[in-house]
Structure 1
Amino acid sequence: MKKMVSLFAAGLMLLAVKANAQEKKAEWITLKVPQLKCWECKDRLEKYLTREKGPNSDAGIVKWQIVMGAGTIRIQYMPSRITPDYIKTAINNAGFDADETKATEDSYKTLPPVCKRPEEGGGPQKGKPCNIPPQQ
């Protein structure tokens, strides 16, 4: 009986190792998000991505880095769980453009004026820099 339990446990361990080995390594994608120039927009997108990420990165998004000066976001993701197109769609659903894809109309309407496209009057307002972190 002990031998059978040991064999069963060894088999389970082997299956777990094999399943883990098939998981691809996390990859990075850099996306241009032109509206991502201020703290309000950054916070809004981060809150959305945190919900999208799910607990323990279950959805496939591991982490991200936002460079407001360049209007870019680097996202680390698990390619076995999520695709770059899905990530772009998630950003679009948050109301932001991502590379060549445009934000969904309904979510874009909910953005504050500062997070709108520059050609529509969005972005930093005269005398109100928005790239400076808010004071706590």
Structure 2
Amino acid sequence: MLELLVVLALISFMTALVAPRLKNTVDAISRSGERAEAIRQLERLPLLARRDGTPFMIDKGQALSLPGLELPQGWSVQVLDRLQVAANGYCAPALLDITTPVGEERWMLGTPDCRISDAPP
């Protein structure tokens, strides 16, 4: 009986050590998936312009909000430079300030296809 109690105590102790790390790992995987989805949505900007056949322009300081653009919950995009996408899908370079549930990031939209990269410091 005493051996069983010792084994249960050891299992409880091990679980208490592992559980927080497991939660942090699950949270990191979730954030990684949200980041990948946000990148995928922003890289769809040329497709949205070509689909509608109309260019769009978002001025400096405005939030990026377009029909068909669905960012993960809690994410928002602020345009730091003028964002222009021509009707043919050509994307002019622009800086974006990304607000996530855990912090902020700065991304750059590349030309000609709106590829996302981390902005230089």
Higher strand share: 2
What's the TM-score once normalised by structure 1's chain length? 0.27
Question: Of the two structures, which has the highest relative contact order with CA contacts closer than 8 Å and spacing of 6 or more?
Answer: 1
